[in-house]
Structure 1
Amino acid sequence: MTGREADRHPGGAVPAVSMPGERGAAASELLTEDETRLLRRALLEWGGPARCGDRLAVGMGFADAQDLVDRAHLLRDALGADRPLAPADWARVLLATEIVFVSDLAGTGVEWPTTTGLADEPTIRMLRSVQRKLAGTVRPFYGRSPGD
């Protein structure tokens, strides 16, 4: 672990994607393959055209903007391998997806179809489906950061 990573995380440890003792669910238990593919693609945007500052990243439950990029890779891998995610990680994934899709200031926004190859209309329909399916899992984080 680099000194920068140790500075970002209390105790010097980079948090696991799913924390021990947290009840997690795999994507296949909750979502269709297309919905999982959408979330994975949205997370990829944070390492590319999306622009996030530290304050927004913290609001999404990450330590800072670099932690968002680092964890986005871990979360993408976990979704791709169908490993269970803790409820806080599902909240991070959902909020990061919502912001990267919609926001033109911080996310991909109007460039979404160009950078992802996914049209807006089917994306929003799929995102609404994901929101409904994850509502019970992420409900404890409504109105607060998954990092709290």
Structure 2
Amino acid sequence: MTSSSELVAVDLTEREREFIQQALQQWGGAASGAPFPFQMLGLSTWEEYGELTLRLQRAVRGDEPLTNRDWARVLFLTEITWASGLVGAGLDFAIVTGFSDSEAIGLLRGLQRRRKIGGHERAKLLFPNGGRTRKYGIPIINEDALSRLLGARTSGE
């Protein structure tokens, strides 16, 4: 992955571009009253948040390159806007954008693929102090699930 400040062009389809634009526009529409914690994006005010979403919208619409951190912001805000009824547009998304849930999830999954704008490396640029460290190189899982898994291995299941 390139540095966090280097501009990266991403080949988006016209429909992906429209989906992202619609999602980002909802922060001035259906999601505008939501209590979104913009501070987690490193911002101090709602005005900064509005400027950020407008800048990202314009860049996506104009097929302009963005930094990897900005691509992470684009994906994160798109995910939140579409999926969250708590802090995003949620159930109103389909009504106000015209994107059905089935089309939206297909587009979102395509964007989440590493060749597009997803991946943990970009997430680390957005949330550098987030995440947990894995012990012994294995994922952290529920102890009951681990016991069942280990029990199945030793009992020959």
What interval of TM-score do these two structures reach, taking the shorter chain for normalisation?
0.7 to 0.9
With 58-67 and 82-91 compared, the bigger mean Cα shift is at 58-67
Distance 2:59 2:109 in 1: 22
Query: Which residue of the other structure, out of 40, 45, 49, is the alignment partner of 1:59?
Result: 40
Structure 1 portions without partners, runs of 5+ = 1-20
Q: Is 2:79 aligned against 1:98? A: yes
The residue type equivalent to 1:125 in the other structure is: G
2:101 maps to which of 77, 97, 120: 120
The amino acid of 1:127's aligned partner reads L
Give the aligned partner of residue 141 of structure 1: 123
In the comparison of the two structures, how many residue pairs are matched? 125
Equivalent pair of 1:53/1:65 in contact (CA under 8 Å): no
Report if the CA contact (8 A) 1:45-1:108 is conserved: yes
Deviations 1:53-101 (A, max 9, x none): 36x2122443343322221111111111111101111111111110010
Structure 2 length as normaliser, TM-score? 0.69
Do 1:100 and 1:108's aligned partners in 2 also have CA atoms closer than 8 Å? yes
In 1, distance between residues paired with 2:22 and 2:74? 11
Aligned to 1:45: 26
Q: C-alpha root-mean-square deviation of aligned residues, in Å?
A: 2.7
Residue number in structure 1 paired with 2:112: 131
Unpaired segments of 5 or more residues in structure 2?
131-157
Aligned sequence identity (%): 33
TM-score, normalization by structure 1:
0.72
Q: CA deviation at 1:32?
A: 1.3
